[in-house]
Chain A
Amino acid sequence: MTRLLRAAMLSLALAASTAPAFAVLPDEVLDDPALEERARDLSVLLRCMVCQNQSIDDSDAELARDLRVLVRERLVAGDTDDEVIAYIVSRYGEFVLLRPRFNYRNALLWGAPLLLLVAGGIAIAIRARKPAQSRAAPLDAVEQKKLDDILKS
């Protein structure tokens, strides 16, 4: 619901100026299907800067349209995928990337899943080697009987 709420707020903000249009429009599509497919794949990775959390592929905002056209212009001009991304980032900053770059600053972000998995695995392995000793006060006879009754039921 919250996503809808925010989408609603956003569209409310946009409503004054624009009626809802579409994400990719028929007139944007490139004639070369291979190039168009690359354009779509790149669009999924680029953030619509004025939207909440949409890629330019999903968004109907004007700015997203501008970016989609820009991506296609660069592709037609012969840029590789990396060159297109680099060009867009040079103009809009890294905020535009929905998949953050691999670099030192993002090391923790990208490394965390593997790091946690390995650390957790090691912790489990160590614990498995030495069985835990009970230090809790043992149950007295009455409590033990009650527990047995409960577990039997």
Chain B
Amino acid sequence: MTVEIGHLALVLAFALAVVQATVPMLGARLGDARLMAMAAPTAMAGFALVTLSFCSLVAAYVTSDFSVANVWQNSHSLKPMLYKVTGTWGNHEGSMLLWVLILVLFGALVAMFSSNLPATLRANVIAVQGWIGAAFLLFILATSNPFVRLDPAPIEGRDLNPILQDIGLAVHPPLLYLGYVGFSISFSFAVAALIEGRIDAAWARWVRPWVLAAWVFLTGGIAMGSYWAYYELGWGGFWFWDPVENASFMPWLAGTALLHSALVMERRSALKIWTVLLAVLTFSLSLLGTFLVRSGVLTSVHAFATDPARGVFILIILGIFIGGALTLFALRASELKAGGIFQPISREGALVLNNLFLSTATATVLIGTLYPLVIEALTGDKISVGAPFFNLTFGLLMVPLLVIVPFGPLLAWKRGDLSAVSQRLFAALGIGLAIALVSLVFIDRVSVFAALGCGLAAWLIAGSVTDLAFKSGYPKVGAAVAIRRLMGLPGAAFGTVFAHAGLGVTLLGLVSVTALEVEKFVTMKPGETLDVAGLVLNFDGMMPLRGANFVEDQARFSIAGADGKSLGEIVSAKRVYTARRMPTTEAGIRTFGFSQLYVSVGDPTEDGGIVVRVWWKPNVTLIWLGAVVMMVGGVFSLADRRLRIGAPAARRRQSERPA
């Protein structure tokens, strides 16, 4: 029964979304307050219905109801409970439902926190959100229904793909979707503003918290996905420039640009048209990503052919939303002209430069991802665009951007003084150059490029700290005064510092692991040892083990320092999941400081040994820690009191406090 209730709730949610999409918009057009007032209740009721629907699917998974085709295909009664729950979105239908759940969640949040918006803008924003919801609910109901029953019901399920039986599945997709789908809010705001034909600095202030929140989630989602792939796939790669990765990276790049341009719009009322366009494009890239991933059009022509209906359906949604929004933009953009004037050397100027590089980088990734498709359609030739292309082009674009990052926050609005700012950054420059020189001289095997990379990372971190020191007045005022001033700084000031420093931390991790990674692959017999980067790995032997739904052969190694001191052990396993008879490799990872020792075992050899692959990955964790630092920056900015305007509930709390 619960499954049928879930199905029914989904149908009702679709009907409600259609109401949400049309009635408030009509009200805004006619100036009818009663029609506009329909917006918030429909959005919240829609959220309640989709939640009900989602919960009923989770319930079917938890109770292993194999009469539901989706549960039968992706679950197993012996699966640990965590994976029964997360398995709900470990497949196409369920993850699409999660996608829509998060979409309507954002719709409901906007409805709750937008009472201070002008009535027509609010009605239009929620209505546009309704359009997106209706389109994707219809997509689920028409092509990807997770509630289809089987009769007779099978006794046992076919289990979840073993690679997905991991804590990563609990965290990565929800975070990623919160980011991906979160950008729908800025899209709806942009379309609503275009419909009204008017936009001002307050618009940017309303939109920015939503953009920030989506950006924080997407940053976390991408970083988490990268780390998951790193430890799960068994060869220690963390970024592959795979089309589906690019699909999540493009909205991140565009969203980062949007974050910065919205700042200019809010403060200086400039870059309005560009900001609106970016808001439209960012979510369009999210939609494009959904299409690329779901249709399988890029990864394999065959995957597309297995279910053309889904691909075509999303393509139509894509066409309507992106085409419609861009047409509206073309019609209305000329009416939006206005804005503050600024000199090229200014905070605005630096942010424009930031946007130039970020959008070029986004376009580069987009073109690289789609180029093979276009070439094949036009000429029939099959070509590949892979990691070597992206590393080269994207890398070259990022270097100048990262070099100018520390200048931005130090420049004044309207008209900046480049020589004064350069003087302030003298210390940071010195630190950067010193680090580059030190790494070139004292670390073996470091190329000039890698040394410069380390220097650039140090420059980013030191530049961010410079910004903070300058804002506190240190060293002109005493330390005590400086600290007091720091405490009084708005959250956004710390946000900038952390986000930019995080970039430096990630860069340091990338450079270290690329330049200094040590890789060994050998055949080892029990009792044999291997030297890796100053550590001695002793192969103790194999040990069979039985898990809840798998059996595995564990290869156990003890680690010792060069001085012979024991540093614990590391276990890598070859695992076979019984239900699908699918073998996986479980990598053994030990963290030393920021670096990691990564061990992965392969096949046994005929003479009783086993193939072992060992990596020393220096500073590898900095790659993801940097992302965490960036997220902390985003949260600081979100907490900024001045942004609370977008979330009236929070502001109310603020005003309730005694002054």
Contact = CB atoms under 8 A, between A and B. Distances in A.
Contacts of B521: 22, 24-26, 29
Contacts of A11: 163, 582-584
B392 interface: yes
Given A124-B356, A153-B645, A53 B367 contact: no
Contacts of A1: 95, 164, 168-169, 172-173, 176, 225, 228
B341 A153 contact: no
Nearest to A12: B582
Interface residues of A, number: 62
Nearest to B296: A6
Contacts of B163: 4-5, 7-8, 11
Contacts of B300: 52
A106 B299 CA distance: 20
Contacts of A95: 382-384
Interface string B285-309: 0000000010000011000000000
B518 to A, nearest CB: 13
A53 B176 CA distance: 21
Interface stretch (A66-74, A75-83, A113-121): A113-121
B387 A116 contact: no
Contacts of B389: 98-100, 109
Interface string B229-253: 1001111010011111101000000
A63 interface: no
A139 B202 CA distance: 13
Interface stretch (B357-365, B488-496, B591-599, B619-627): B357-365
Contact of B299 (A6, A44, A109, A113): A6
Nearest to A120: B356
B360 A120 contact: yes
Contacts of B387: 44, 55, 98
A97 B387 CA distance: 11
B475 interface: no
B344 to A, nearest CB: 6
Contacts of B357: 117
A18 to B, nearest CB: 9
A91 interface: no
B317 interface: no
A117 B169 CA distance: 38
Interface in B567-581: 574, 580-581
Interface of A: 1-9, 11-12, 15, 19-26, 29, 44-45, 47, 52-55, 58, 93-100, 105-106, 108-110, 112-113, 116-117, 120-121, 124, 128, 131-137, 139, 147, 150-151, 153
Given A5-B163, A5-B164, A113-B397, 13 more contacts: A3-B229, A20-B585, A20-B602, A22-B521, A25-B602, A44-B387, A52-B299, A54-B240, A94-B381, A120-B360, A124-B352, A132-B339, A153-B645
25 contacts: A1-B225, A2-B244, A3-B225, A3-B245, A4-B232, A5-B90, A8-B161, A22-B521, A45-B388, A47-B384, A53-B386, A98-B388, A99-B389, A100-B389, A113-B360, A117-B356, A117-B357, A117-B397, A124-B356, A132-B338, A133-B337, A134-B338, A137-B198, A150-B205, A151-B202
